[in-house]
Amino acid sequence: MLLLFYFNFFFLPICSFSPSQSKVPSFTLKLNIQREKREKQMASIAGTCPLGALHRNSVSENNRKNSVVHYEGLRLPQRTQMPFSLTTVPSHYISASSSSRCRTTKAMASSTVAAPKREKDPKKRVVITGMGLVSVFGSDIDTFYNKLLEGESGISLIDRFDASSFSVRFGGQIRDFSSEGYIDGKNDRRLDDCWRYCIVAGKRALDDANLGQQVLDTMDKTRIGVLVGTGMGGLTAFSSGVEALIQKGYKKITPFFIPYSITNMGSALLAIDTGLMGPNYSISTACATANYCFYAAANHIRRGEADIMVVGGTEAAIMPTGVGGFIACRALSQRNEDPKKASRPWDKDRDGFVMGEGSGVLIMESLESATKRGATIIAEYLGGAITCDAHHMTDPRSDGLGVSSCITKSLEDAGVSPEEVNYVNAHATSTLAGDLAEVNAIKKVFKDTSELKMNATKSMIGHGLGAAGGLEAIATIKAITTGWVHPTINQDNLEPSVTIDTVPNVKKQHEVNVGISNSFGFGGHNSVVVFAPFRP
């Protein structure tokens, strides 16, 4: 009887209360109101499960268990169950129904009501004051972009090594490269091409920014950093070292084997040559590398850790190990009979990407620093973002969620609304899955694409891997400064779902208001950087 008394007196009033009951304890009323608010918020949010549902959540209507994908090589054959609790999941990750359960992942742009204002502080505004490159079209910026505008292909048969037994025998191989005036003869003979390209592109960028050695010697070099990344590093140096070990024994390995193989050496050698003592390291995120470097370098400037950063990507993988490795991945086009037609992004007849190489480097500088030294400002870096697909080692997400969220975050960082963007330099490698996944993502962010131009630099120079973002950033900036966007060549049979203007085969005059450059890499690494004309 005593238990029944306590049950009736304490428990029933709480369980059966309604907000209209005046005798309900106030703390209970507050808890229920808060709970109702949370449920309404969760029901209105279209988000995703945590960590791509650690991946890709699948919650049954009959239980609250979370499926975890187990990887077996590049396939996803089996699933196991693990306990799942909604209390551990932030509400902005939940796609909820009235039952508040995690459902399918949806590709959606962030529901930003209004884009934040652009940066006004001259110490935090980041401008471009110099550019340098090494490419299949040479090392002169204007020549490089003019070749792109003309729609000229730089793809040809490989003759650097005997590729006759390879199933792929062509690429964007650099010929007639000269480092004269930038690297002394002794070091030039020792260096891997990856570092030769980096040093030449970096020094040409410094010269373009009026930061030659005499000028640098008058400046505080602790405020100038170097961040040039690479996807593969010194691949020739590494392969030669392994070959020496196997054929002749460890005593025949050169002492330069390790230093010239590791990925940080480009930034290090450029700093050693110029005396730059600011932030210095490398980033290696496969084909997204250069954009990751731009994003990181800009943040060093914004945080006040550097005034100037020498930034970009470099790569030299057109050699037996590099070509053979990508053949093994089944990633390359095999159009040996017509190499210049092989790289054909968004075309129905594409069959894989074409390897390229080179280096692209920008001088990124605070507006305050550029103004003080009277530098010529080429363009402005407004912002960027990086995300991960958390999906597969080599394949993109078909729903484009990682890419669309990356574009959205980059625009938020830049203080730009989607409507302001009218140019996209796409990653567009000419692969079956990747090309369409990127277009799907772009369409999710940019609802009206009628004024949007989207082109593919890789259609002419191939895929520069870690250098791709650097070379394409330069192409993006040249589009801004010239008012002309280069064509995407080999557009003969466009995919029906590609409804955006890809600038097919012939250049177009186009005043760029805001341009973005996309780069994505193996591992699901996504990166987007945002450039615009400089306006004081």
* Residue positions counted in the chain: 536
CB 359 within 8 A of CB 198: yes
Q: Enumerate residues 6+ apart whose C-beta is below 8 A from 131.
A: 141, 205, 208, 360, 361, 362, 363, 378, 474, 477
CA distance 49 to 91: 9
CA distance 524 to 389: 5
Q: Establish whether 92 is a catalytic residue.
A: no
Which of 55, 300, 391, 427 does the annotation list as catalytic? 427
CB 194 within 8 A of CB 232: yes
Q: Is 49 left (phi over 0), alpha (psi -120 to 50) or beta?
A: beta
Which of 55, 463, 510, 525 does the annotation list as catalytic? 463
DSSP 3-state assignment of 196? helix
CB 202 within 8 A of CB 285: no
CB 241 within 8 A of CB 169: no
CA distance 250 to 169: 32
CB 313 within 8 A of CB 470: yes
Cα 56–Cα 58–Cα 61 angle in degrees, nearest 5: 160
Cα 276–Cα 277–Cα 283 angle in degrees, nearest 5: 90
Which of 194, 287, 293, 406 does the annotation list as catalytic? 287
Q: Establish whether 463 is a catalytic residue.
A: yes
Task: Evaluate the CA torsion angle 97, 100, 101, 105 in order and state its sign.
Answer: positive
For the annotated catalytic residues, the residue numbers are: 287, 427, 463
